[in-house]
Amino acid sequence: MKVAEVRHILDTIRDMFPDAHCELNHSNAFELTIAVLLSAQCTDATVNKVTEDLFQKYKTPLDYISVPLEELERDIRRIGLFRNKAKHIQSLCSILIEQYGGEVPQAHDLLVTLPGVGRKTANVVVSNAFGVPAIAVDTHVERVAKRLALAGWKDSVLEVEKKLMKAVPREEWTLTHHRLIFFGRYHCKAQNPSCQVCPLLDVCREGKKRMKTAVIRKDNDVLKASKKLEMKKRMG
């Protein structure tokens, strides 16, 4: 994709969502790490409901490992995969205490070694908690990037990330990450994207396909209605 086309996309989503931000509630790097870990296969809204009480009860890594696993499981049971996530949280907290003085490490390569922390989680933490430019690819970012041809249909998550990092200026990585999420979450949805009113329809291969299909369907409906009316006239 040409530089001008990428710029057009970036400027458009900037204008659509100028206040895009991380929607996971947190007050420090540790809380953000826990929140992102919990958000896997779960909505941010649900995570925020759970962490509202969770972050009142558990303030430090020591708090999380000072309770039985079953108690932590009960505290996060509204979260998908809560049993595995509870285990990851306690293991992660033990490592933070033993190796990092109870603090979340700032280095990306150290973060990804923590239980339950993958590349996406690490990117979210370093960019939002430590101000390091990064593009975290979640389902929204991946979907939008592929629909807008910023990445290939068959690209892996890592390939999508690399292509976005190459196409987007480094100083815009973090903001673009948030804007792509907002664009995918509130506009370019998985099932019912707002193609008919999308300002990026001109560069969206998925949107053009959907709109073409919608026109064909509408023409067929009109044709069917016309045939029914003609038959009624003949019979009447």
Identify whether the C-beta of residue 72 lies closer than 8 Å to the C-beta of residue 124: no
Phi, psi of 14, rounded to the nearest 5 degrees? -65, -45
Rounded to 5°, angle at Cα 119 from 113 and 124:
110
Q: Which of 15, 75, 85, 138 is catalytic?
A: 138
Alpha-carbon distance of 193 to 197, in angstroms, equals 9
Report the largest interatomic distance among the alpha carbons of the chain, rounded to a whole angstrom: 87
Mark whether 138 is an active-site residue: yes
Strand (E) or helix (H) holding 236: none
Name the catalytic one among 75, 85, 120, 146: 120
**Taking a C-beta distance cutoff of 8 angstroms, is the pair 149, 1 a contact?**
yes
Cβ partners under 8 Å of residue 148, min gap 6: 9, 200, 203, 204, 205
Distant-in-sequence, close-in-space partners of 53: CB < 8 Å, separation ≥ 6: 75
Within a 10 A sphere around the Cβ of 161, how many other Cβ atoms? 24
Question: Is 120 part of the annotated catalytic residue set?
Answer: yes
Of the candidates 148, 137, 136, the residue with the CA atom closest to the CA atom of residue 193: 148
Cα–Cα–Cα angle for 186, 189, 193, rounded to 5 degrees: 105
Q: Which residues are catalytic?
A: 120, 138
